[in-house]
Structure 1
Amino acid sequence: MSNVVPIATAAVPAKPVGAVTAAVAILRCLGRHADSMRLSEIVRAEAINPSTALNILRTLEYEGLVSFDRRAKRYALADGLAELAAPLSGRDDPVQRAQRAMAAAAQELHATIGLWRVVGDEVELIHVADSGAAIRIAFTLGRRLPMLLGAMGRLVAARGGLDDAALATGFAAVPWAVAPDYATWLGEVAAAGRDGVGVDRGHVNAGILGVAVPLESAGPLRHVIAAAMFDADPNADVHPIARRLRAVADAANA
């Protein structure tokens, strides 16, 4: 494919520090759960050695990043994390502005809208807004998925600078509900690159329409804004949805 921009990703460390990796995994695990967790639950969820997990949790507690209820023997994230992230949360950048604009769009489109970040060969959900409807599609913050999945995957494929082999491998890694024809999918990738919008109709989840636009209009693609909604009319025009999502991206980049 021509005129593609490589995805900017963090370099893999020559020798990853296992304790740091495990500590980050524990923090993410606690962040994914609304309720506090026991050591055994964390160990089971992250497949970390119990002794290692306990020592890491004690260190994180000492540093104020994790709290420990000694009576219930349960761990949770602590306010020290918010203090650590305060310099970032105070910034008014495109990601922050996108998050503010997503709530109104979710209500108007009767959709769940996620802001996804490209991380290596995956995408990670970093913010979500939903319509508040009694029956709606749920997204889990912090979840990571194969980068070529669904509507957003068409955009990543179009702007990722991937060769034919990488595209085929990435396509095969997607947990399709009903896998599209590969040649047809490549055509949809080309259209996503040309039009700046990715579309998936029922291939990832039956009966679900996915529409995605890039947050960055040019340069490396680091974030994708993706809407998911029940596909009541498979022949309905997706352009109004795409225009509303582009308005969110425009507001973020203003």
Structure 2
Amino acid sequence: MGSVPELRTVEPELADTSATKLNTVGQALALLRFLADATMPMGVNAISRQLNFAPSSCFRILKQLADAGYAQFDNRTKCYSLGSAAVLLARRSLDPSNTFSLLLPSLTDFVSRTQASVGFWRRIDRDRIVLAGFVESPNPMRIHMSIGQRLPLYIGAVGRAFAAALGLSDDQIRYELAQLRWQIPPDTDEYCRQVQCCRQTGYAVDEGNFAPGVTTVATVLTDTMGGLSYGLSAIRIAGQIGRSEISSIGDALVDLREELGSTWLAQR
């Protein structure tokens, strides 16, 4: 099974996690981040030393987190680890409006017709997208991507589609591309031409730049307020797809976008 490499980002750390600098909410967030990064369960005293918290405060907050399911306490070892409620909360944060679930029947039908895996991307800030949903193709050799993967906005086929929809000029595109790291960097002028082409066809294509041996076709979706909030990427292993099929999948993506725009968005 093929896999798309993940580009990982590092979360900014709190500059000072001492109890004198943080209120209770800040301490709870620091504890959750600590448990998320910990490689093994740890006791209260060890955690309080690492975070420079008073042991009594650390114990009190950890107990509350454990009672709510955000931390897990092992009675045998007296150690804490991250709880399952934190996982559920994180998953919910990927798609607060539950959009992927609403689209899933249409996306599943698209996958069965095109034999392409489909990624559902949500724009989370000015220059980032996150994979909020994924439907694998039925092919024996297929692409897998991890939910929660975050990428720069303008990378890959989805990036070209966003650049086209947001109306970036060639100079703006060149600036944005200079900030990115690719597996195989595209030629900047060619990327600009591909963005222009996307404005005409409604879909963009990445052939091996984001991930060698992988061809991706993508388009973007607007939310109920007309904002460019979502991207759809159809993904195939390069040896399984020809030029004519790329166009067919692209046209099918545009049709799907129009279908969704006139049905589920209108109903919300």
Whether the TM-score (by the shorter chain) exceeds 0.5 is yes
| Structure 1 position 111 matched with structure 2 position 123 | no
SS in 1 for 2:119: strand
Q: Is the 8 A contact 1:208 1:228 kept in 2?
A: yes
Q: CA deviation at 1:234?
A: 4.8
Q: CA deviation at 1:249?
A: 3.1
Q: How does 1:96-107 map to 2 (within 5 A)?
A: 96-107=101-112
Which of the pair has the greater relative contact order for Cα pairs under 8 Å at 6+ separation? 1
Count of residue pairs brought into register by the alignment: 219
Q: CA deviation at 1:251?
A: 4.7
Q: Is the 8 A contact 2:203 2:253 kept in 1?
A: no
Match of 2:20 in 1: none
SS in 1 for 2:210: coil
Residues 24 and 76 from structure 1, CA distance in 2 versus in 1: closer, same or farther, beyond 3 angstroms? closer
Q: Deviations over 1:180-218 (max 9, x none)?
A: 211111111122123221111111112211001112289
Structure 1 CA distance for aligned equivalents of residues 150 and 50 of structure 2: 24
Q: 2:40 aligns with which of 38, 41, 45?
A: 38
Greater than 6 Å deviation, 4+ residue runs: none
Q: Deviations over 1:16-52 (max 9, x none)?
A: x86576578679x59xxxxx97347xxxxxxxx9438
Structure 2 CA distance for aligned equivalents of residues 197 and 243 of structure 1: 8
Match of 1:231 in 2: 238
Q: CA deviation at 1:125?
A: 0.4
Normalization by structure 2: what TM-score?
0.65
Report the structure number with the largest CA radius of gyration: 2
RMSD value, Cα = 3.8
Normalization by structure 1: what TM-score?
0.69
Q: How does 1:116-127 map to 2 (within 5 A)?
A: 116-120=121-125, 121-127=127-133
Q: 1:205 aligns with which of 194, 201, 211?
A: 211
Match of 1:46 in 2: none
User: 5+ unaligned residues in a row in structure 1: which ranges?
Assistant: 1-16, 31-35, 41-48
Structure 1 CA distance for aligned equivalents of residues 178 and 213 of structure 2: 21
Identity of aligned residues (%): 24
| Structure 1 position 193 matched with structure 2 position 199 | yes
Q: What amino acid maps onto 2:246 in structure 1?
A: V
Q: 2:82 aligns with which of 70, 75, 87?
A: 75
Match of 1:129 in 2: 135
